[in-house]
Amino acid sequence: MSIEFVATSKLPTAFGDFKISVFQDPNTGEEHIALSKGLEHQPTMPVLVRIHSECLTGDAFASLKCDCGPQLHNTMQMIDAAGQGAILYLRQEGRGIGLTNKIRAYALQDQGHDTVDANLLLNLPADARRYDMCSIMLDQLKIKQVQLITNNPLKIQALTEQGIDVVDRIPLTVGMNPMNEDYLKTKHERMSHMYDKEDF
């Protein structure tokens, strides 16, 4: 994937003041976003970073079927409190299968299938996301070392393979509720997401 930095602006939010930067794939027009704070100069310490894949239902509509919205907003609060950090907001709805297929998968989940099997029944991968754009985005932000806010070991692996120094993992256990408990257990048991048993 080849993406290019195209624009940046200040962005005041309910969770603090940030800078928003847009990156675009010139071949597809696909746009990814970096939301950052306190990175005007080359950071000398590892930077708080979250890789967050777009989730319209969770991020915008406060869906209780997932923990995406609380993860995003909690990370914004963490970065604002620290005074420095970045969120790479990747346009990979539904773990990369797109919004339409995500809603089709939701319908199968309503019938009792978990998130993995719902995707497979649609002849789609359980997780179709990619992270090769992250190194370009982090380079633009002058970030060399990260404290990665994640429960997903694949994100740690992806950044490490791109030469990014992941010095620490910050767990993020927020947004749990009775309606997404099975979803989170599936992430833990079938997708190797790092939760503690006490979390459930």
The set of catalytic residues is 127, 129
Residue 180 tokens read as: 């997404």
Quick one: which of 92, 199, 113, 118 has its CA closest to 151?
199
The residues facing 144 across adjacent strands are: none
- Distance set, CA 16 to CA 67, 81, 198 (Å): 21, 9, 31
Question: In a 3-state reduction of DSSP, which class is residue 135?
Answer: helix
Residue 143 tokens read as: 């970030």
How far apart CA 135 and CA 159 sit, in angstroms, is 7
Other CB atoms closer than 10 Å to residue 198's CB: what's the count?
6
- Distance set, CA 62 to CA 72, 176, 182, 192 (Å): 11, 12, 18, 25
The residues facing 21 across adjacent strands are: 8, 34
Phi/psi for 129 (5° steps) reads -75, 155
